[in-house]
Chain A
Amino acid sequence: DTAVSQTPKYLVTQMGNDKSIKCEQNLGHDTMYWYKQDSKKFLKIMFSYNNKELIINETVPNRFSPKSPDKAHLNLHINSLELGDSAVYFCASSPKPDTGLYGYTFGSGTRLTVV
């Protein structure tokens, strides 16, 4: 199936730990994103990344860092986890806008709970 897949689906961890969430897309898209969805369902952009440029939302703590081994993968590393990091994290991807296609395809989300 063509899709954006992220793992794990659920992640429970203690404060202070370091964790990673993986994301892979097989759609041939050029740009990938990480969004954070809080308890009020608000979708907030954290990063956008293509093979040329990383754009970081300035409100994202530097404990969060994206790692992209190749065009099809964008993993999210989180250091020194805090209670406030608990949320659902979504990976998404999109083709180049000059293709005339602008829509994002989202993964199914990773629910992170910090205890």
Chain B
Amino acid sequence: GENVEQHPSTLSVQEGDSAVIKCTYSDSASNYFPWYKQELGKGPQLIIDIRSNVGEKKDQRIAVTLNKTAKHFSLHITETQPEDSAVYFCAAREGYSTLTFGKGTMLLVSP
């Protein structure tokens, strides 16, 4: 089955700095890579995703890059704000399979 590794497990940045979270996956057949944000007491919410036929996708201050050859993908958050503080999960999926999640990164943005 798919195995997704996520680093770092915790990340502390100052407001305004950039944050990068990295994930690797094991199944070369995986073709869908979402990122979820989980705020305290809430369920994970999809913030951005990327398909295997695309190398990069951007949505305002967040972007995701995918390197299929190396089987890794990354989340980039620019100009971080305190409200970006949350746990972020990467995940991978092939077609009809279930999503496999990384173990999460706790991002803390200090004012």
Contact = CB atoms under 8 A, between A and B. Distances in A.
Interface residues of B, number: 23
A102 B32 contact: yes
Interface stretch (A13-21, A42-50, A65-73): A42-50
B101 A106 contact: no
A77 B75 CA distance: 36
A102 B89 CA distance: 16
Contacts of A90: 43-44
B46 A104 contact: yes
Contacts of B32: 102
27 contacts: A4-B43, A40-B103, A41-B103, A41-B104, A42-B103, A42-B104, A43-B44, A43-B89, A45-B99, A45-B100, A55-B98, A92-B43, A97-B96, A102-B32, A102-B34, A102-B49, A103-B34, A103-B49, A104-B46, A106-B43, A106-B44, A106-B45, A107-B43, A108-B41, A108-B42, A108-B43, A109-B43
